[in-house]
Amino acid sequence: MRYNQGNPGTQVGGYDKPSTYDIGIRRFRIQMYGQLTDRVFIYSQIGINNFTYDSDRKSGGTPGPNHSGTGGFFLHDAVAEYALVKNRLSFGAGLGAWNGLTRFASSSAGAIMGLDLPGVEETTNDVNDQFGRKLSMYLKGKLGKLDYRVALTDPMTYQKAVGYVTTPGPNASFALTPPKPQYQVYFSYQLKDQVSR
């Protein structure tokens, strides 16, 4: 619940509204996962962000910039994983978040605590991905104290992004050309306590 005193000229639905009161849902998730066999694991997550009285309803859309959902549920994750060598090497594919060179670049909305991730970790959020997720295939595992993942991801086209403009301005950060596959790796050597990723 919140009460907001707006700036002069603030409008809601085309009408001046110097202050607003609303009840909203900041983040809601439904996770479905299961170990189908001793080697096959599936994981899926749907959810909604920033749903308020002013949100689009029943849109089924994707979230907007900086996690601002459009009012509809959207797919966060949908991956299937097969353990090639149990506890050491797994192959997976689907819509997932194995991204980047840093630990926080692969954000998990299902495991995030009460705080948001630093925005700097999600530089492409909903520009060439869906809430930090891309269609990908990956290898991941653990060899002793070495935790690793290697992914081949398929970025989404910029033309379908929320806020897409047909003519980039002087400070454009994304090209209009079709995306190319991205190769991503992450290695972590854990000296003391062993943390699964």
Per residue in 153-169, pLDDT tens? 998 888 887 777 777 77
Q: Is residue 12, in this structure, part of any structural domain at all?
A: no
- pTM for the complete prediction? 0.76
At residue 97, the pLDDT reads 85
At residue 122, the pLDDT reads 67
Q: Residue 151: exposed, middle, or buried by beta-carbon count in 10 A (0-12, 13-18, 19+)?
A: buried
Tens digit of each residue's pLDDT (9 = 90 or more) over 55-95 = 877 655 444 444 444 456 888 899 999 999 998 999 999 99
Band the pLDDT of 129: cuts 50, 70, 90.
confident
For the chain, the domain total comes to 1
Q: Is residue 14, in this structure, part of any structural domain at all?
A: no
Are 155 and 130 contacting, i.e. CB atoms less than 8 angstroms apart? no
> In DSSP terms, which residues pair with 3 in a beta bridge?
21
Q: Is residue 6, in this structure, part of any structural domain at all?
A: no
Our measurement of the distance from residue 101's CA atom to the centroid of its chain's CA atoms, rounded to an integer in Å, reads 16
How many C-alpha atoms does 149 have within 13 Å on its Cβ side? 23
At residue 81, the pLDDT reads 97
At residue 102, the pLDDT reads 63
At residue 68, the pLDDT reads 43
User: 170 lies in which domain range?
Assistant: 26-189
Rounded average pLDDT over 8-24: 91
Query: Which residues, including other chains, have CB under 8 Å from residue 172's CB and lie 6 or more apart?
Result: none
Q: Is residue 129, in this structure, part of any structural domain at all?
A: yes
Q: Is residue 7, in this structure, part of any structural domain at all?
A: no
